[in-house]
Chain A
Amino acid sequence: MKLSTLTLAAIMTAGAAIAGPVAPADVVFSEGAVAASLSGQPGDVANGAKIMSSKKLGNCIACHEVTALSEAPFHGEVGPLLDGVGDRWNQAELRGILSNAKLTYEGTVMPAYYKVDGFNRPGKAYTGKAADGPLDPLLSAQQIEDVVAFLMTLKDE
């Protein structure tokens, strides 16, 4: 179907008005970093803290210690202590590490939280069964933004 300039303009305006999240396949990485917010919205610090502690969501503390989250039980030792991470990395770099840590750390064991393809034997969550359709990313665009916002508060001193 051939679109007239008018309908095309209308679609584009509508598109801009409901600017949805960037799809995992469309994320633009530059040396591992991602400049723009994935959701187009700012992140929520408190929700980011919740996502990091929750086993059902980010489960980040399974591998990382975070002093600011010391009320949540069982912090792991597989990854580095995240205290001061907001000084070590800027927002775009943290967004990149979360979306696909392998682009920052080659071969890392840290999972890619905003990636949906290229996996070997992808399963249906933790059931052990084969995935029965396209995968959802481990965290949504907004959840990534929330976690990035929380990580940015982890400054030394």
Chain B
Amino acid sequence: ISTPFMASADADDDQLVVNGEIEMITKAPAPAHLADALDEVISGWHMRSDETQEMQADDFDNPAMIFVEQAQDDWNTVMGTKDKSCASCHDNVEDSMAGVRTVYPKWNDAKETVYTMEMQINDCLTDGMGADAWKKSGAKMARMEALISVQSRGMPMNVAIDGPAEATWEQGKDLYYSRTGQLDLSCASCHEENYGNRIRSDHLSQGHINGFPVYRLKNSKLTTPHGRFKGCVRDTRAETYKPGSAEFIALELYVASRGNGLSVEAPSVRN
């Protein structure tokens, strides 16, 4: 008789070193604000199969890198009425964007609100370049975020949650613990109370976004944090929030802060 039951499967002890040189912090002591909830934060990489894990360990095997290359072309492409490319203002992405991903979302003083990287990129496009904004969570946006994130690979996430960002962070925290939909589940129901457990065929992670944008083998595309949140909320049989909405911006800040201390892994590979 066959036994379909999975061996109890907690996070494995594998180590992620990308290209044989970038050592990723995939487990870290939980940030202070999570002390009541978790001892350790664990990258979703640990919950994936060996094959999927290996794809992420080498850029030649990582299917997301093709999108990063496309974004490198976008970076150098003149767009909009002001005849500028991203490079016109930011030169080499390797230098100008190193470390940027670790602090997003972050408070924007001039706009007096929490900014996601996506909002900043759209400001650069519209105000800086006289070009059209890109679709929120769309393919072009996702690949540019991937290119910018690659410049911070290995560096620990370190988003600020105090000061002017605090109210938004609190809103995100409320959303994280609010149950939604007819299944009446919150993010915490799955990613805090049940990480390490299987739900149907899926091995539940802590739901961090240090690996985003992620390449999903399921649809061969890059997924942004808001795209993932939308899918998870939908799976509670709820009306979702929209990518780019105030709710998802707050949730992104909060979820990012739960992963403070984990390396930027983007673009990671997931099923």
Contacts and interface: CB of A to CB of B under 8 A. Distances in A.
Interface of A: 55, 59, 61-63, 65, 70-78, 109, 111-112, 119-131, 135, 138
Interface residues of B, number: 34
A74 B201 contact: yes
Contacts of B127: none
B4 A121 contact: no
A74 B181 contact: no
Given A61-B200, A119-B181, A120-B179, A72 B4 contact: yes
B193 interface: yes
Contacts of A75: 4-6, 198
29 contacts: A55-B200, A59-B200, A62-B199, A62-B200, A70-B3, A71-B2, A73-B201, A74-B201, A75-B198, A76-B197, A76-B198, A76-B200, A77-B8, A77-B197, A78-B197, A109-B193, A120-B180, A120-B184, A121-B180, A121-B239, A122-B237, A123-B236, A123-B240, A124-B239, A125-B237, A126-B237, A128-B238, A128-B240, A138-B183
Chain B, interface SS category: loop
A55 B200 CA distance: 9
Given A74-B200, A77-B8, 19 more contacts: A70-B3, A70-B4, A70-B5, A71-B2, A78-B194, A78-B197, A111-B182, A112-B184, A119-B180, A119-B182, A119-B184, A122-B181, A122-B238, A126-B235, A128-B239, A128-B240, A129-B239, A130-B239, A138-B182
B98 interface: no
Nearest to B240: A128
A138 B236 CA distance: 12
B242 to A, nearest CB: 10
Contacts, number: 95
Contact of A135 (B2, B178, B182): B182
Interface string B181-198: 111110001100110011
